[in-house]
Amino acid sequence: MQQQLSAVAVCCLAAAALIFLLILLRQRRINQRMRDRVSALERGVTVRDEELAHLVTARLPAKVQSLNGRPVEVPGPLNERLADIPYGRHLERTMEMFAETGDRAKTRADESAKATLKAMMRGVQSLANEQQLAISRMQVRHDDPDVLEGLLRIDHMNAQLGRRAQVSAVLCGSWPGLQRSASPLIDVVRGATSRIRDYLRVQVHSQVSEAVVSRAVEPVVLAVAELLDNAARHSQPNTPVEVNFQPGHNGMAIVIDDAGVAMNAEELKRAERLLAGKEAVDINRLGDPPQVGFAVIGVLAARYGFSVSVDTRSPYGGVRAVVFLPAVLLTRLDDRAQAAPKPAAPAAVPSPPAPEEPGSEAPQAPSVTAGGLPRRRRATAETPAVDEAAGQAVAAEDQEPDSLPAPVSSREPDRRAAAGLGAWQRGTRSGRATVPPDSEGKSQA
Binding site for other proteins (CB under 8 A): 129, 132-133, 136-137, 139-140, 142-146, 148-149, 151-153, 155-156, 159, 178, 180, 183-184, 186-188, 190-191, 193-195, 199-200, 217, 221, 339-346, 402-406, 409-411
Q: Which is nearer to other proteins, 192 or 370 (CB)?
A: 192
Pick between residue 217 and residue 322 the one whose CB is nearest to other proteins.
217
Judged by beta carbon, residue 311 or residue 412, the one nearer other proteins is 412
The distance of closest approach from Cβ of residue 112 to other proteins in the complex, given in angstroms and rounded to an integer, is 32
Residue 134, SS3?
helix
Q: Residue 399: is it exposed, middle or buried by C-beta count within 10 angstroms (0-12/13-18/19+)? A: buried
- Least gap, CB of 282 to other proteins (angstroms): 32
DSSP string, 170-212: HHTT---------EEHHHHHHHHHHTSTTGGGEEE-----EEE
Angle at 235 between CA 230 and CA 241, to 5 degrees: 70
Of 2 and 410, the one with the shorter C-beta distance to other proteins is 410
With CA atoms as reference, report the closest residue to 355 among 305, 390, 400, 405: 400
Please state, in angstroms and rounded to a whole number, the distance separating the CA atoms of residues 392 and 407.
9
Q: How far is the CB of 269 from other proteins (least distance, A)?
A: 34
Q: Integer distance in angstroms from the first to the last C-alpha of the chain?
A: 124
Residue closer to other proteins, measured from CB, 195 or 320: 195
Please spell the DSSP secondary structure of 386-415, one letter per residue. Answer: -STTHHHHHHHHHH-GGG----SSSS-HHH
* Least spacing, CB of residue 221 vs other proteins, in Å: 7
Work out how close the CB of 428 gets to other proteins at its nearest, in angstroms, rounded to a whole number.
16
Nearest to 223 by CA among 264, 182, 277: 277
CB of 148 to other proteins, least distance (A): 4
Q: How far is the CB of 333 from other proteins (least distance, A)?
A: 13
For other proteins, which is the closer residue by CB, 170 or 182?
A: 182
The least CB distance from residue 342 to other proteins, in Å, is 6
Q: Would you say 88 or 384 has its CB closer to other proteins?
A: 384
How far is Cα of residue 210 from the mean position of the Cα atoms in its chain? Answer: 25
Q: Which is nearer to other proteins, 155 or 356 (CB)?
A: 155
Q: Give the residues across from 254 on adjacent strands.
A: 245, 323
What are the C-alpha distances in Å from 434 to residues 218, 251, 354?
34, 35, 11
User: Cα(274)–Cα(4) distance, rounded to whole angstroms?
Assistant: 107
Buried b (16+ CB within 10 A) or exposed e, 161-187: bbbbbbbbbbbbbbebbebbbbbbbbb
